[in-house]
Structure 1
Amino acid sequence: MPRFIPAAALALALVGASVAAPAVLPASAPEATTVGEVSLGALPQAASEADGIERVSLATATPAATAAIKAKYQTNVSATLYSAGSGTKKLATVPADYTVATRTAKKSSDGKRIQVQYKSKTGWITLSKASKVSLSTKVGQLSWKASAAKNISKWCSGVPIDTSVNYMNQATAQVSTTNGKRKVTEKINLSTKTNWGTALNPNHPMAISIQYHECGHIMQYRAYNYDFAGLKRAMDKVYGTSGNTAGGVEHMADCISEALGAKRKGTESAGNGATRTWTSGYGGKCTATHLAAAKKIVAGKRV
């Protein structure tokens, strides 16, 4: 018979000052149990061009805008599109995970910038903020799901991701045996919206911490060979259960997120002069001992 593990979900606590009373989601908030699909049109991402680059009339076309594409680069973070190979004049901002093309492959004299086309503009981006990708890569913004997959690819490559505007984040694993052969099915569900109702950028620090947390669960499952009861005993032993409402498995996932470099707390503008403080995860502190245990899980070892 198939064996299932209940979805391991990640709660977000919202604390902070705002004009109205701040909304608060307790760390022990109940977890959602369903997954919805959202159309790409509803995701918080830049609109992509139909053919990758806006067309210009032949009368005004420049060689850089009409020549054959020689290479493509995908931004790893938000990058400034400069007007020249040197200087600070800004033409636009290229968002993270956006693929641009170069028809000249021309680099600046110091080799730090490359000339590219972004929408209808020809300018220069800093090479250290982008990675060269295949010519078959579509010009434009990655989908929310693709950005999340890219962010966790080092540890959870190939794990299917579902996204939803519903407030729900969870990682699941299902194990079944047929004719003596075991089959494992893993899945990560991620919300594209904050619990206070705004669109969540997949590269926002809070979104990154959630993605790392859920990928952390997958790493936990694998380290314990999908022995979910054994995993729980081990995690509770490391983190304890006294005062830990989330339990050791969840707290470990928080510490894995932190060990991978995620930022679990932040403060930002909420508009109209107000600020919002957010906390990703269950709020527990990760000690040096906890982080050392988390790194063992990341390395595929048990604790």
Structure 2
Amino acid sequence: MDLTVAADRAALDKARDELGPGRIALVPTMGALHEGHRSLMRLAREHADHVVVSVFVNPLQFGPDEDFSRYPRTFEADLRVCEEEGVRVVFTPSADDMYLPDRQVEVSAGGMGGVVEGAFRPGHFDGVLTVVLKLFNLVRPDVAVFGQKDAQQLALIRRMVADLDVPVSIVGAPTVREPDGLALSSRNRYLSEADRRTALALSRALRAGAARGQTAGPAGILDAARAVLEEAARFDPPLLLDYLILADPATFAPAGDDHRGEAILAVAAKVGTTRLIDNVVLTL
């Protein structure tokens, strides 16, 4: 079936009506699509009859000193990816189409949106939840697919759907990694060869912590991961750590010594001019 590109709300409504009967899955993206995005689309096809992908670099989730202006935009290549993965509709709104110039109301991510990643990027998750809710209202999907790599984002979207009674099922997709272990990210293209060697410490640290998960408590897991990151801080270029946390997946509060069950070992750091995040799910 042919791929339809909908550049505004009216075109989206028409394209959605032309899909015919069946369940609709939405895969929200900011473009610069890679193999990780392909995995989301494939998972979406397992849960629905029609897949809609949004490509929108959302200004609300970027802080004043972040990389909104240089975020990679590869629209023609993105369309080819969507076509190859059997996507039916690509929604590509402009910021003017998504947001009223005098908008007043945004979604608040609450306390959970101000910790861990939210502490380093104030307002980021408010912007994420606002655009996701708007996309849900515009596309009206039955299911939406998000990557586990953005674990706190996924948790907050699930919380929003539950708290606000949004009739969309949320599916989390496993993190896709490159052969050397680096989690796939659109920002990886910013990394020089030397940057990349340093950045590999993120996945090594997570593996070191996970290896201690069955025998050590939270402190031992964090110690093992931190040792790898401290070594990488002496590399050229150095790894500059923002945070390393073993978090309760329901709240993203630090997992206590008595924590049992699932926990998320999450890390964020800057290498050169590029900020990267990664995480792994553990069972204690």
Q: Which TM-score band (shorter chain)?
A: under 0.3
**Rg larger for:** 1
Structure whose residues are more often helix by fraction:
2
User: Bigger relative contact order, structure 1 or 2, given CA contacts below 8 A and separation 6+?
Assistant: 1
TM-score (norm 1): 0.23
TM-score (norm 2): 0.24
Structure whose residues are more often strand by fraction:
1
